[in-house]
């Protein structure tokens, strides 16, 4: 399967500002690219590429006041298979986890593990450890939290989501991640592309998406408390402790978003040549 990926966004800057963008596909998916994955700007700006502490590809730049446009179009090859399911996958005790995985058991900006630990035990402590426990967490969050873009706010944490029972995709994942960590299951937040591939309409405007990964049986597995069923065509961009680590654009200065377009569509081999 071939998937056309891209974005086109415009900002108004009242004053010069520094930016860090996480808009490239994750290094693990770079071998699947059929076209270059390059951040383009409307201005001739020097771009500095680097890899952050979580292994994500980042682009750093400084833009003058005025209009700033960021855009890209690329093509990636995908297996076309849905997210894998491994019901036999088991939890690993903290003392046996790799050292670099331990950070994904801790509190983070949007995931207050300490404040939701008792709730997690009460809700899910009686479920057999392993895949089915993580699946039960996803099912509970999917059922109990109402989705709506009008519920979004940048300061909403997992505890807020649990209390208010509303949110957008990132909020669903923050709550599920927090419950997992509270039960000593390492969990990390994921940002990426997820188009409506093999999903019946009606369709809404595309956006970047969020899901999460849980560490079971020695590897990371995909889970999604927002959709709560295997999907086709996920393209990983960045992983971190929570949304604060994987923002598609971090601005060190004021800006106003004027327009925003994201594309993630299956295409044929012939269409990919045009």
pLDDT digit string, tens, across residues 231-255: 999 999 999 999 999 999 999 999 9
CA dihedral 235, 238, 243, 249 (to 10 degrees): -100
CA atoms in the 13 A half-sphere facing the CB of 122:
4
Ranking 38-47, 68-77, 110-119, 215-224 by mean pLDDT, the lowest is 38-47
| Predicted pLDDT at 221 | 98
Percent of residues in the chain assigned helix, strand, coil, to nearest 5? 25, 35, 40
2-80+248-265 placed in CATH 2.60.40.2250: yes
Both tokens of residue 56?
Answer: 């994500």
- pLDDT tens-digit profile of 157-216? 999 999 999 999 999 999 999 999 999 999 999 999 999 999 887 777 788 999 999 999
Which DSSP state fits 26?
Answer: P
269: confidence class by pLDDT, cuts 50, 70, 90: confident
pLDDT score of 272 = 62
pLDDT of 136 > 90? The answer is yes
Predicted local confidence at residue 174, as pLDDT:
98
pTM of this structure = 0.95
Q: Residue 99 gets which letter from DSSP?
A: G
Structure confidence at residue 204 (pLDDT): 77
For residue 203, what pLDDT is reported? Answer: 79
- Looking at the chain, how many residues does it have? 274
Of 35-49, 111-125, 195-209, 231-245, the range with the lowest mean pLDDT is 195-209
| Residue 274 pLDDT exceeds 70 | no
| pLDDT(271) > 90 | no
Q: What are phi and psi of 2, to 5 degrees?
A: -110, 135
Residues 230-267 as b/e (b if ≥16 CB within 10 A, e otherwise) read ebbbbbbbbbbbbbebbbbeebeeebeeeeeebbbbbe
- Domain residue extents for the chain: 2-80+248-265, 94-244
Question: Are the C-beta atoms of residues 149 and 168 closer than 8 Å to each other?
Answer: yes
Tokens of 81: 């298979």
Whether the per-residue pLDDT at 66 is higher than 60: the answer is: yes
Q: Distance between CA 81 and CA 77 in Å, rounded?
A: 12
CA distance readout (Å), 123 to 101, 120, 218: 24, 5, 25
pLDDT band with cut points at 50, 70 and 90 for residue 43: confident
User: What is the β-pairing status of strands 146-147 and 166-167?
Assistant: parallel
Tell whether the model's pLDDT for residue 222 goes beyond 80: yes
Read off the tokens for 39: 């951040």
Cα–Cα distance for residue pair 241/236, rounded to 1 Å: 15
Selected from 3.90.1580.10, 3.30.70.590, 3.40.30.10, 3.10.620.30, the CATH number assigned to the domain covering 94-244 reads: 3.10.620.30
């Amino acid at each position: 399967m071939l998937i056309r990926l891209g974005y086109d966004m415009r900002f108004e800057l009242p004053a010069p500002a520094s930016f860090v963008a996480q808009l490239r596909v994750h290094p693990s998916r770079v071998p699947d690219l059929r076209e270059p994955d390059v951040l383009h700007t409307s201005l001739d700006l020097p771009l500095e590429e680097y890899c952050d502490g979580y292994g994500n590809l980042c682009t750093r730049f400084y833009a003058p006041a005025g209009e700033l446009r960021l855009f890209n179009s690329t093509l990636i090859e995908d297996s076309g298979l849905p997210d894998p399911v491994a019901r036999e996958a088991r939890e690993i005790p903290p003392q046996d986890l790799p050292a670099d995985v331990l950070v994904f058991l801790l509190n983070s900006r949007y995931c207050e593990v300490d404040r939701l630990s008792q709730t997690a035990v009460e809700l899910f402590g009686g479920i057999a450890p392993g895949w089915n426990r993580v699946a039960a967490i996803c099912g509970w969050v999917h059922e109990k939290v109402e989705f709506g873009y009008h519920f979004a706010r940048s300061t909403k944490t997992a505890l807020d989501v649990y209390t208010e029972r509303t949110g957008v995709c990132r909020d669903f994942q923050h709550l599920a991640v927090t419950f997992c960590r509270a039960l000593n299951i390492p969990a990390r937040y994921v940002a990426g592309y997820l188009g409506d591939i093999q999903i019946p309409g009606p369709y809404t405007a595309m956006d970047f998406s969020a899901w999460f990964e849980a560490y079971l049986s020695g590897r990371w597995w995909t889970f999604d408390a927002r959709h709560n069923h295997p999907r086709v065509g996920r393209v990983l961009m960045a992983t971190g402790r929570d949304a604060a680590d994987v923002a598609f654009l971090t601005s060190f200065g004021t800006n106003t978003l004027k327009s925003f377009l994201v594309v993630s569509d299956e295409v044929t081999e012939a269409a990919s040549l045009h």
